[in-house]
Structure 1
């Protein structure tokens, strides 16, 4: 069983996302530990990029703040190495192909393995271009997490068949961000995927309230939340840790009530 699949082995998973270095890498370390204590099952760490095409304004601004603060891939690797001295839950990087390319794909992925990262999410890589990253990920024992979107119904099974770790189900069209209402047929997307794979399906994009999290947990194996947490980091800055911890705890409780 891969480390990522363990996140789904004891009921519905709650998966928070944060942008590394927003407001600082020291605070990011504190956030990861606090979210683990609050019951997070897996953590997505965003590596900032200057042109994050899948992100809405909240996460774009977090990327800009982190980059302006001098955050680099190398510094994030060092931070994760330090986190792994105490943090045991699975962690994945979410970033863009350009970040991996510019570092050198094999060097990037082998370093991920060395520092204890369990998988990668690259939202700008289509299925047709996945293999060049996936083959290196397999070589080093990392899961390259695939995404399915409401627009890709005819491609869902094709993508799901080759998925590893978990399948990231995008709940809304467009970029990341909180939504007041999510109308996508999540049941239909997941049913199609489950016909061809038994890996867990987690739903993200647009989820911000415990009610939305509970609703999505009825349909999926896990719930992913990013923008709502990044908003707390933006609002409270260096003092954000207790607010994020309370939020993650409330969201995890909502997801667990469905289990």
Structure 2
């Protein structure tokens, strides 16, 4: 990958899009992870306004500290970066109290994890509307178009996606080129929706390098039956997530009314 040229391309694309839309800048949620760090840095490089939101919901202290350190680094290196902290923990806790209990605790637990992402999306659009900003998405290609590892109308609810055509390994390459804090580069990827230290790999069952390989094999028409051992298992994992999360990655189904019924 021609890293410098890719960076310049994305920065120019962001600036042109915002300028043509008569938008003042961008708002982005900073999680302490690699994707939001790279995306926010690229947005800051446009020279337009960038509002970084830090929105903890029972967040691990290490995630919060990485997020704050990154925001401070951005502010030191770019003039138009600002930061707002919105503690969503009491909002989330109050919502849980108001929601009725259910018998299936496992499904409730998953639903509440996704609710965290949707509360953050609501907060991002609150500030976007007030300041005439665009909500910048942080999803990479593997998450957005491979395994669908994001929350529908949560972190998937954005105005534009600067890094969605980059594999996770390419995001890391850009992070190193940009000088993103080493603690973020070294941190295991996590969606931060559970209040514990579980990683993306823990949830998906495969690492990002493995998923990138499976995505490439799938694009070549390969299936799990074409491989043995760990590769066979990884292909099964990839295909399972790709299939079950297709509702996120495909356009919303529209019931088309036959002309003779209108």
| Normalised-by-shorter TM-score class | under 0.3
| TM-score w.r.t. length of structure 2 | 0.27
Larger radius of gyration: 2
Whose RCO is larger (CA < 8 A, sep 6+)?
Answer: 1
TM-score where L is the length of structure 1: 0.27
More strand by share: 1
